[in-house]
Amino acid sequence: MNFSFYAQGHPSVLSTHTTTLELTKEANLRKNGDCIVAVGSSAGLRDLSTLMKDALSSETCRARLTLKLDPHRFVIEGRGAHGLTFSHPTDIVIRKSGFVSDRTLMVYANRAAADLPRSLVELLQDPGRKVLVELTVET
């Protein structure tokens, strides 16, 4: 299963959080949002298909989120978990830990915001830049 959407850059993107990565539909970003890598997302967790949500509700599900912004292609791999609700209206959070909340897309991810190449972070600090986000789910 595949799902694609766009988000945009923001001057306050820091991308320094070592355990999470977040995308948000919100247009603004405060300096303490160090896990947020893009704002103005065209999709949130609620926008995922029921089929995709059902698949991600299983611990055996594997997920891959890819951020594409020329010339970069940043891939994060993780897995689903029991208890994921996909109910948050604006935020999508990827976690290295097993913590589950209404904002969580996947857990036990292999990368977080701090792992983005600094050259990609610089591009994501430009509000005129759009990043293509691709989510692939395999059961």
43-102 residue pLDDT tens? 999 999 999 999 999 999 999 999 999 999 999 999 999 999 999 999 999 999 999 999
Structural domains counted in the chain:
1
Query: Cβ distance 33 to 22 under 8 Å?
Result: yes
In a 10 Å sphere around its CB, with 0-12 CB exposed, 13-18 middle and 19+ buried, how is residue 128 labelled? exposed
Query: What predicted TM-score, i.e. pTM, was given to this entire model?
Result: 0.96
Closest by CA position to 75, among listed 42, 112, 40: 112
**Is 139 domain-assigned?**
no
Element (H, E) at 119: helix 118-124
pLDDT given at position 32? 79
pLDDT-derived band at 30, boundaries 50, 70, 90: confident
For all residues of the chain together, what is the average pLDDT? 96
Pairing of β 91-95 and β 104-106: parallel
Residue 111: which CATH number?
A: 2.60.120.630
Of residues 118, 88, 117, the one with CA closest to residue 103: 88
Whether residue 29 has pLDDT greater than 90 = no
Q: Which domain holds residue 86?
A: 2-134
The closest alpha carbon to 10, from 132, 121, 134, belongs to 121
- Whether the pLDDT of residue 31 is over 80: the answer is no
